[in-house]
Amino acid sequence: MREANFLRYANNVVARMEENVSLFPDCEPPLSVLKGTLHRLSRAMAEAQFRDMRCVAIKNQLLRIHKEQLYRLSLYIAQVAQGDPWIILSAGFATNKPYATIGAAPKPHNLRVQVQMQRPGCVRCRVDVWKKATGCRFEYRKVGDVLWNILFTTKSSCEISGLQSLEQHEFRVAYTSSNPTITYSSVVSCYVV
């Protein structure tokens, strides 16, 4: 988190804690300590903008101290909240998004196989991007073979080499995700140079 964003986040935490002080009677560190450090940090950040090395060192020290204080406060809030997102939000902290499972990956569209004329036995495969994919599973085989060769990649394109020249090959692709179901694209056939 950038320093300016951290300062806004910290200000929000202190403001929410002041508004809901009755929910957190024995907060650790105390709210007065948090406010004091935050005030000194705000001043130090303003002074450090002029690149005075002494001011930058003071700002960095106060930033480290305030981060430690917010971390200790977050442990206290977690203990009080017992997982209740309303209490966590009342303290000004952000809650984690609940884990959402994705269904089966969709059928990949627009599989393109480009023969590399300068490199015998080599093709370049690409498919449209699906943002939720962790990668792609490209498969290929010579026409007539039963088994597919598999190539995993984290990108939506790959280069396949070592193919037999002047032979027809088949290619297909599937997106990989947290769901183990495999949905293949349509098969694309082409002759390899």
Identify each DSSP E strand in 143-179 by its residue range: 149-153, 157-160, 168-176
Q: Which domains does the chain have, with CATH numbers?
A: 3-90 (no CATH), 112-191 (2.60.40.10)
pLDDT of the chain along its 193 residues, tens only? Answer: 688 888 888 989 989 888 888 888 888 899 899 899 889 988 888 888 887 888 889 989 999 998 999 999 988 988 888 888 888 888 888 876 655 566 789 999 999 999 998 999 999 999 999 988 889 999 999 999 999 999 999 899 999 999 999 999 999 999 998 888 899 999 999 999 8
- CA–CA distance, 111 with 185 (Å, rounded to integer): 7
Measured from the Cβ of residue 55, the count of other Cβ atoms closer than 10 Å reads 17
Q: How far does Cα 3 stand from its chain's mean position?
A: 20
What is the H or E stretch that residue 137 is in?
A: strand 135-142
Task: Please return the burial class of 145, using the count of CB atoms within 10 Å of its CB with bins 0-12, 13-18 and 19+.
Answer: exposed
Distance CA 97, CA 103 (A): 18
pLDDT of residue 104: 86
